């Protein structure tokens, strides 16, 4: 997979060494540092068997990663997105989010994520990508820090008005 950015290669995150590179990136960077996310929690989130992790490489160097989740009510959820500090501002995050969109929108109409209220740069980044802030989850991950729930959508879950109105549809009007 190519990222649309010169010299960038995107693909599934596979090796333990790549996982450890992502863990180290998280451990050294906000928002995870400020939220005091433990090394173990970082590793578990990246390697969770029901999630899908993808990375971006420039040559041999892993320069970013994204983790997606498709379980639960918010299917199509960006669990993690990180770019190595030296590679930021060069289109890597945008390329990883384009990959996340391609994968998620092939399976459903929504892409969700949470971003810390204090993470103003990332909030601007997501706004530029067309995400809308749905609501504020107070004290969501840790006490004293709020998370904004964001959504980018291509339409309702029920694709057609007829499907939404069907009596067989659990979410349809009664």
Ligand X SMILES: CC(C)(COP(=O)(O)OP(=O)(O)OC[C@H]1O[C@@H](n2cnc3c(N)ncnc32)[C@H](O)[C@@H]1OP(=O)(O)O)[C@@H](O)C(=O)NCCC(=O)NCCS
Check binding of 128 to ligand X (CB under 6 A). yes
User: Which listed residue (68, 77, 93, 104) binds ligand X by CB under 6 A?
Assistant: 93
Check binding of 29 to ligand X (CB under 6 A). yes
Our CB check for ligand X shows the closer of 90 and 166 to be 90
User: Which listed residue (57, 112, 125, 148) binds ligand X by CB under 6 A?
Assistant: 125
**Helices (DSSP H) in the chain: which residue ranges?**
16-27, 39-47, 92-105, 120-128, 161-165
User: Which listed residue (24, 94, 158, 163) binds ligand X by CB under 6 A?
Assistant: 94
Check binding of 79 to ligand X (CB under 6 A). no
User: Dihedral through CA 72, CA 147, CA 150, CA 23, nearest 10?
Assistant: -70
The secondary structure of residue 23, as a DSSP letter, is H
Q: Residue 9's CB: how many other CB atoms inside 10 A?
A: 15
Check binding of 7 to ligand X (CB under 6 A). no
């Amino acid at each position: 997979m190519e990222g649309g950015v010169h010299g960038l290669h995107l693909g599934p995150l596979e090796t333990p060494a790549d996982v450890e590179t992502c863990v180290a990136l998280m451990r050294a960077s906000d928002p995870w540092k400020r939220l005091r996310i433990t090394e173990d929690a970082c590793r578990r989130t990246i390697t969770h068997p029901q999630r899908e992790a993808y990375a971006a490489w420039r040559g041999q160097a892993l320069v970013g990663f994204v983790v997606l989740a498709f379980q639960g009510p918010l299917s199509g959820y960006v669990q993690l997105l990180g770019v190595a500090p030296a590679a930021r501002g060069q289109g890597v995050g945008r390329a990883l989010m384009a990959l996340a969109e391609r994968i998620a929108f092939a399976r459903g109409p929504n892409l969700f994520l949470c971003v810390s209220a204090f993470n103003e740069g990332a909030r601007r980044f997501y706004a530029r990508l067309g995400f809308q802030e749905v609501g504020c989850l107070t004290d969501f991950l840790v006490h004293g820090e709020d998370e904004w729930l964001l959504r980018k959508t291509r339409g309702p879950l029920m694709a057609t008005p007829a499907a939404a109105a069907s009596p067989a549809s659990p979410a349809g009007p009664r």
